[in-house]
Amino acid sequence: MINSMDLSRIDFHGFSSSKNWIGYFQWVGIADETRKSEYSEELVHKAGLLVYEYFKDCWNDFFVLSGLRYYDEAENETGVDELYGNVYNKAKEIDLLIPVDDEYEKWSDYEWFKLPKTQIPLHFLRFCFDKDFILPYSEMAMAMVFGKVCGQKCFLINPKLQIALYPHEDIGYGCIDLGNNPKILTDFLNYCDKSQDFVSHIEEQYR
C-alpha cells in the first residue's frame, strides 16, 4: 500500500517542467489539421471519459488537488454556463473554488511583479474526495479556462498508482509520474491516441 507521494515533483508554475512529466493528449483539431475532427462542446466531456474509462477500475483511489480560482466578472464562452454552471456554483459553495486575490496574483505572476519563484503556498490548495464530482470538476476547469476559472491548477491524483493528471486548455489531459513507473502513463497516452478525436505526445525518453 502507498502511504505517501511526492507532490514536490509537480512544478505548479509550469507543469511540463515537472520532474517525470510524461506527456499529454489533446484535441486533434489543434494538433493536426489533416485529421478530421470537428470542434464541439462535447469534446471536453469526451476527453474526461477517456480518463474515466481507462482508470475506472481504480477510480475510487483518485482525488482532486485544486489551486483554481474564480472571477465572477469574467464571461465564459457560449454554452459553457449551461453545461458547467451548476458545477461551478457547487465548487464555490464547498470552497473548492476560491476567489482571485492579490496574494494569488503576485505568486502566479511573480516575474511581472519581480518576485522570486516559490512553491505554491499550501493554503492555496483544496482537496476533493467526492468520486462523483472529480470528473465534472476537471471538465469545468477545462471548459472555463478562458472565462471565470483561472489558474489551471487542477490535478486528478491517484496515490496508489502514483500519478497526477491535469486538464489543460487544448482539450485534453497532461500526465506526471509521481513515482517511478512511467509505463502506467505511457500506456494511457497510447490508449488515448487511438481515439479519432485526440492525439497524444509522449516525451522522447519515455517512448
Q: CA nearest 10: which of 66, 54, 53, 70?
A: 66
Each residue's pLDDT, cut to its tens digit, for the chain (207 residues) gives 455 678 888 988 889 989 999 999 999 987 666 555 566 778 999 999 999 999 999 999 999 999 999 999 999 888 899 999 999 999 999 999 999 998 888 888 777 677 677 788 889 999 999 999 999 999 999 999 989 999 889 999 999 999 999 999 999 999 999 999 999 999 999 999 999 999 999 999 999
| Helices 131-143 and 42-55, packing angle to 10 deg | 140
User: 3-class SS at 163?
Assistant: strand
Can you give the pLDDT at residue 79?
A: 86
Can you give the pLDDT at residue 39?
A: 63
Is the CB of residue 64 less than 8 Å from the CB of residue 154? yes
Can you give the pLDDT at residue 1?
A: 46
Can you give the pLDDT at residue 104?
A: 86
The pairing of strands 63-66 and 126-128 is: antiparallel
Is the CB of residue 84 less than 8 Å from the CB of residue 68? no
